[in-house]
Amino acid sequence: MSIQRLNRVPVVILTGVENAGKTTLSEGLAAALQWDLIPEAARTDKRVLEGNADQTHLQQMLEQFNHSLVKLLSTAEKGILCDTGGLVLDMWSQHAFGKGLEGAEFAMKQAQLHLLCQTLPRWEPDPLRNMPVYADRVNLEGAYRKRLIRMELPFSELPPEEPSGRLQQALDFIHKHCPL
C-alpha cells in the first residue's frame, strides 16, 4: 500500500538520537522561518518523564503526532517543522521493546526533508536521556541513517557544531530542498 503526501506546505522533520540538539535547532528554525512547530511530545509527557512509557504509550504518542500533523497540514500557511516525529518514536519502540509502531511510515513520508542531527560529543544530562556514552549514540545514529536510506526518504545530515552555524546550515538545506 502506497502512502501519499498530504502536504500543501513544506514539512521538515528533525530526527536523530538523544543529545543531538534537535529541540534547540527546531525552535530556532521555526522562529527564523516563521513556520508552525510541532514540539517533541516526550518533553512534556508525564509517563515518559516518570519513566513509565511502554510500547502502547509510544503508539498513542505517534497517533497524536500524526493527528497534529494532519491538522496542521490543513491550516499551516508557510511550513511545518517537527521536533522529532515518526522515526524517533519508531526507533525508540524498536530499541526499547523490540517492536516498531504502526503509522510511523505515514509520518515519515509527509516530510519533504528530514534533518538528521548528529549527536553532540559532549553529554548534556536531561530527564529524557539515558545514553551517556558517545559511541553508543553514534552507533544508534547509524541505524537512523540506514533507515532513512532504506526508505528512500530525503534527508540531510547536520554535524555537531555551534548552534548558529548549525542553524544556518539547516536553513540552507531547507531552502535547497523545500521551495518556499
pLDDT at residue 15 greater than cutoff 50: yes
* pLDDT, greater one: 30 or 128: 30
Domains, in order of start, for the chain: 11-177 (3.40.50.300)
Picking from 4-13, 19-28, 105-114, which range would have the lowest pLDDT averaged per residue?
4-13
In tens, the pLDDT along 95-137 reads 999 999 999 999 899 999 999 999 999 888 887 888 999 999 9
Kindly state the percentage of the chain with pLDDT values over 70.
Answer: 96
The predicted model scores a pTM of: 0.93
Pairing of strands 113-117, 155-158: parallel
pLDDT at residue 162 greater than cutoff 50: yes
DSSP label at 41? G
84 vs 99: CA distance, rounded Å: 19
Bridge partners of residue 37, in order along the sequence: 81
What SS3 string covers 45-85?
CHHHHCCCCCHHHHHHHHHHHHHHHHHHHCCCCCCEEEECC
175 vs 180: CA distance, rounded Å: 7
**CA 142 to mean position of chain CA atoms:** 15
Over residues 73-80, the mean pLDDT reads: 92
Mean pLDDT of the chain: 92
Q: 109 near 5, Cβ under 8 Å?
A: yes
Q: What is the pLDDT of residue 1?
A: 39
Kindly state the percentage of the chain with pLDDT values over 90.
Answer: 79
Residue in 33, 170, 22 with CA at minimum distance from that of residue 84: 22
2 pLDDT band, cuts 50/70/90, is very low
Residue 66 CA neighbour count, 13 Å, CB half: 20
